[in-house]
């Protein structure tokens, strides 16, 4: 017998508030030559976290812009500038036709990707340690290096297997992330597998292959018939329209399954989560967010992030109430500076 699912998550932030924060940040970023971005991102998070409540108590974001700024400066000096110097040196060696230049670049590219992966994991640790509920801190254990090595293995295997390693790879990484997520002195557990994912992966893969074959085939045919510009433009438009149906729908169908499996595989204090993600709402969310980001040139991304929060809160359920009295404050206060690696090497933070 499975207990009745409870929907404890709610997002009650208003769109107007997200748009206002986004526009204020835009203005301040312009006058401060984008120096404001650390504080701006913090304000957006405070809005998104604070607009979310769990069992009627709000989530809080307690990070500070100054922490992000310090992390940025630190990584800039310790990692980014030396890396830039090494890249410059490699370029000089290549210009001088020294074979060591190419060798250096061959080492620098993986190193950069590795550092981005490390940075992503560390950023998550920072964000979780600044996330409070009922005064209790979240957190993340695990090793950033271990996570980065696993990520790189996935990024190498996915293209090598023509995409077939994707379901296995992304579930493995998600298991690592969720299995090292903590709230107070408790750790989440995640045993999400790939069950049911490969069927949807196959459909997505076949649709992609068929689409690619057709697109290339038509292009070759049109080339042989020697058609004019107008027909070419029409062909491109049809191709784009076709992509929405042939690529986006199977992709969303697959992502919905990933989301559902991930939630179902995750538990906290012995209580399992569930997520009722259906394909169409997911398409609406993702396409809507893409259009918002595109037409606002990224300025209104906080609004898009808010829609994601709202969606996630509306679908997440849990099969029971954890024994909160037994969950104690975590002794780990988290890193003192935030996200340096990501904000330098990756730049674009979502929210």
Which residues form the interface with another protein (CB under 8 A)? Answer: 10, 12, 31-35, 37, 39, 50, 53, 55-58, 72, 76, 80-81, 84, 92, 95-96, 132-136, 183-184, 322, 324-329, 343-347
CA distance 301 to 63: 19
Q: What are phi and psi of 138, to 5 degrees?
A: -85, 180
Smaller CB separation from another protein, 315 or 342 = 342
Smaller CB separation from another protein, 151 or 330 = 330
- Give the nearest distance from C-beta 108 to another protein in angstroms: 14
- Give the nearest distance from C-beta 132 to another protein in angstroms: 8
- Give the nearest distance from C-beta 290 to another protein in angstroms: 21
Smaller CB separation from another protein, 81 or 160 = 81
- Give the nearest distance from C-beta 118 to another protein in angstroms: 15
Residue 322 contacts by C-beta under 8 Å, 6 or more apart in sequence? 268, 269, 270, 271
Question: How far is CA 45 from each of CA 82, 115, 301, 318, rounded to the nearest angstrom?
Answer: 31, 24, 12, 24
Residue 315 contacts by C-beta under 8 Å, 6 or more apart in sequence? 259, 275, 276, 277
CA distance 348 to 175: 25
Smaller CB separation from another protein, 60 or 170 = 60
- Give the nearest distance from C-beta 288 to another protein in angstroms: 24
Smaller CB separation from another protein, 53 or 308 = 53
Helices 166-179 and 144-160: angle between axes, nearest 10 degrees:
170
Smaller CB separation from another protein, 90 or 252 = 90
Helix (H) or strand (E) holding 58: strand 57-61
- Give the nearest distance from C-beta 233 to another protein in angstroms: 30
Q: Where are the beta strands (DSSP E) in 63-204?
A: 131-133, 136-140, 181-183, 186-187, 189-190
Cα dihedral 50/51/57/63 (nearest 10):
-20
């Amino acid at each position: 017998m499975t207990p009745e699912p409870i929907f404890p998550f709610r997002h009650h932030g208003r769109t107007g508030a997200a748009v206002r924060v986004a526009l204020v940040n835009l203005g301040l970023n312009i006058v401060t030559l984008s120096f404001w971005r650390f504080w701006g991102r913090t304000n957006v998070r405070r809005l998104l976290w604070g607009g979310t409540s769990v069992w009627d108590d709000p989530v809080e974001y307690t990070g500070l812009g100054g922490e992000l700024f310090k992390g940025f400066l630190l990584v800039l000096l310790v990692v980014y500038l030396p890396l830039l110097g090494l890249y410059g040196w490699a370029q000089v060696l290549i210009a001088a036709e020294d074979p060591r230049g190419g060798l250096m670049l061959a080492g620098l590219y993986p190193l950069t990707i590795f550092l981005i992966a490390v940075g992503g994991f560390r950023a998550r640790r920072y964000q979780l340690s600044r996330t409070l509920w009922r005064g209790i801190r979240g957190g993340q254990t695990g090793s950033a290096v271990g996570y980065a090595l696993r990520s790189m293995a996935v990024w190498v295997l996915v293209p090598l297997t023509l995409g077939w390693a994707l379901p296995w790879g992304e579930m493995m990484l998600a298991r690592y992330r969720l299995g090292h997520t903590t709230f107070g002195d408790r750790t989440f557990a995640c045993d999400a597998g790939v069950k049911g994912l490969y069927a949807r992966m196959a459909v997505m893969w076949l649709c992609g292959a068929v689409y690619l074959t057709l697109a290339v085939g038509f292009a070759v045919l049109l080339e042989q018939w020697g058609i004019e510009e107008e027909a070419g433009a029409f062909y491109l438009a049809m191709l784009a329209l076709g992509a929405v149906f042939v690529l986006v729908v199977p992709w969303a169908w697959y992502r919905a399954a990933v989301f559902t499996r991930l939630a179902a595989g995750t538990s906290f204090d012995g209580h399992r989560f569930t997520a009722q993600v259906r394909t169409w709402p997911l398409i609406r969310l993702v396409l809507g967010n893409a259009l918002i980001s595109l037409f606002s040139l990224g300025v209104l991304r906080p609004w898009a992030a808010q829609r994601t929060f709202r969606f996630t809160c509306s679908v997440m359920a849990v099969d029971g109430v954890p024994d909160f009295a037994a969950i104690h404050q975590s002794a780990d206060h988290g890193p003192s500076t935030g996200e340096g690696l990501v904000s330098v090497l990756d730049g674009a933070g979502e929210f």
